[in-house]
């Protein structure tokens, strides 16, 4: 269905986290949501969101750069234009704006939300149709303190909210990190899947040493142990160890996925709408992975509810062998939606209804938006 985009508005919304979230390259005390409202000529409004992690420490686009790319370059390009769908929108954006996939993801999301509302269909239906309306969700233990992480993990297990955990390591020495991970694994027990994310902090030699110990200690998955540019190193590790490698920073787009798989990588790809440029673009990577026999995992850029739901619509259309980590809203003290998502029994429910299926609380948006 063709939509004419009339205007775009963008806000930066700062929301504190429930506790410090420590990654190898940054500690987050707050998350910034770049929120986009797309108004279309038929009176339909679509909403999109882009987040990054730790300012400029995760990727090349800061929240401020995302807002600037949208307001200065993307809005003049698409406003007043008609698009038959996301393919035409992406074509236009990619022809005139290089990179900036986080900003493009917010616009692609807003367009899908508007199109779904205009058609009376959920976004998942526009993406091929949901295979399920409940998706598995793990939780990341990243307080920076082993005992606090164990207590948090045990509480969430007892509450039945999560049964799988990811640990953030790489900021400290290898021995400290391995002790930390194995203590948590031992405390949570054999039944509980524990994975680690190194966020590129190790070199290949350290990774070989670290993975040997983590594999022996029962860690289930090792995410992005070495820098994103070391494609050959990641292939080597994936072939050398039985504990699977989850490629995250190394696979942003379908092109990265193709290069890694054709080089001999075996393991898992983390899909993220921000890395690829939107839900449709992220699914292109999913389809390359499926063709190559690489397993899938639904990744987060620690989005609020809007970005999380946009991702869930996409993830619901493919089989996620390693589940998802779409817990972003639970890490934030508040959000800008009318109804929070339902997280329970290690799963989240995909909202129903036209478009993304969520309503924005505009008073809250104004309350948290930067002036």
The residue ranges that bind Mg ion (CB under 5 A) are 197, 223, 248
Catalytic pick among 223, 303, 325, 347: 325
Per partner kind, with CB cut-offs from 5 to 8 A, the member of Mg ion, ligand MUC, none near residue 140 is ligand MUC
Asked if 181 is part of the footprint of ligand MUC (rule: CB under 6 A), the reply reads no
Residue with tokens 């089989």: 319
CA–CA separation, 70 vs 54, rounded Å?
Answer: 20
For ligand MUC, the binding residue among 93, 110, 156, 302 (CB under 6 A) is 302
- With respect to ligand MUC, which residue has the nearer C-beta, 109 or 199? 199
Catalytic pick among 168, 185, 272, 284: 168
Asked if 53 is part of the footprint of ligand MUC (rule: CB under 6 A), the reply reads yes
Q: Which of residues 100-159 bind ligand MUC (CB under 6 A)?
A: 140, 142
Sign of CA dihedral 212, 59, 134, 30: positive
Sheet holding 347-349, edge to edge: 134-136, 347-349, 343-344
User: What is the contact mask toward ligand MUC in residues 315 to 334, using x (rule: CB under 6 A)?
Assistant: ----------x---------
Per partner kind, with CB cut-offs from 5 to 8 A, the member of ligand MUC, Mg ion, none near residue 49 is none
CA–CA separation, 14 vs 7, rounded Å?
Answer: 23
> Is residue 22 flagged as an active site residue?
no
Distances (CA, A) of 257 to 58, 125, 207, 271, 276: 19, 25, 21, 10, 11
Q: From start to end of the chain, where are the E strands?
A: 3-22, 27-40, 45-50, 82-83, 134-136, 139-141, 164-168, 193-197, 222-223, 245-247, 268-271, 295-298, 343-344, 347-349
Q: Which of residues 66-85 bind ligand MUC (CB under 6 A)?
A: none
- With respect to ligand MUC, which residue has the nearer C-beta, 113 or 223? 223
Q: How far is the CB of 183 from ligand MUC (least distance, A)?
A: 19
Residue whose Cβ sits closest to ligand MUC:
140
* 3-11, 285-293, 295-303, 304-312 -> range binding ligand MUC (CB under 6 A): 295-303
First to last CA, the chain: 36
For ligand MUC, the binding residue among 177, 248, 335, 347 (CB under 6 A) is 248
Asked if 61 is part of the footprint of ligand MUC (rule: CB under 6 A), the reply reads no
CA–CA separation, 90 vs 277, rounded Å?
Answer: 8
SS3 337: strand
- Looking from the CA of 127 toward its CB, the CA atoms found within 13 Å total 30
> Is residue 104 flagged as an active site residue?
no
Residues of the shown chain interacting with ligand MUC in the complex, contacts defined by CB under 6 A: 53, 140, 142, 197, 199, 248, 299-300, 302, 325
């Amino acid at each position: 269905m063709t939509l004419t985009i009339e205007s775009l508005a963008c806000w930066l919304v700062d929301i504190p986290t429930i506790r410090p979230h420590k990654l190898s390259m940054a500690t987050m005390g707050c998350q910034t949501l770049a929120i986009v409202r797309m108004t279309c000529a038929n009176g339909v409004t679509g909403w999109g969101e882009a987040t990054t992690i730790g300012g400029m420490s995760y990727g090349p686009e800061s929240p401020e750069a995302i807002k600037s790319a949208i307001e200065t370059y993307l809005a003049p390009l698409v406003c007043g234009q008609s698009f038959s769908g996301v393919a035409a929108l992406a074509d236009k954006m990619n022809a005139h704006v290089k990179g900036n996939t986080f900003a493009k993801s917010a616009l692609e999301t807003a367009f899908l939300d508007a199109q779904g509302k205009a058609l009376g269909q959920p976004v998942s239906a526009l993406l091929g149709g949901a295979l399920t309306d409940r998706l598995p969700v793990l939780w990341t233990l990243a307080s920076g303190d082993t005992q606090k992480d164990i207590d948090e993990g045990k509480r969430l297990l007892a509450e039945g909210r999560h049964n799988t955990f990811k640990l953030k390591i790489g900021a400290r020495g290898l021995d400290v990190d391995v002790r930390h991970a194995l203590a948590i694994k031992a405390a949570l027990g054999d039944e509980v899947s524990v994975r680690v994310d190194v966020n590129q902090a190790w070199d290949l030699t350290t990774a070989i040493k670290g993975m040997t110990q983590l594999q022996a200690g029962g860690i289930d998955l090792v995410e992005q142990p070495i820098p994103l540019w070391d494609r050959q190193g990641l292939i080597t590790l994936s072939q050398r160890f039985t504990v699977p490698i989850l490629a995250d920073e190394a696979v942003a787009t379908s092109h990265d996925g193709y290069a890694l798989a054709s080089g001999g990588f075996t393991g898992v790809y983390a899909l993220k709408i921000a890395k690829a440029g939107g839900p449709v673009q992220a699914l292109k990577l999913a389809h390359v992975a499926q063709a190559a026999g690489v397993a899938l995992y639904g990744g987060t850029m620690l989005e609020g509810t809007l970005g999380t739901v946009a991702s869930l619509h996409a993830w619901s259309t493919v089989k996620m062998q390693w589940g998802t980590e779409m817990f972003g809203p639970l890490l934030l003290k508040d959000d800008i939606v009318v109804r929070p998502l339902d997280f329970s029994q290690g799963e989240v429910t995909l909202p129903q209804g036209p478009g993304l299926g969520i309503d924005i609380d505009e008073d809250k948006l104004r309350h948290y938006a930067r002036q």
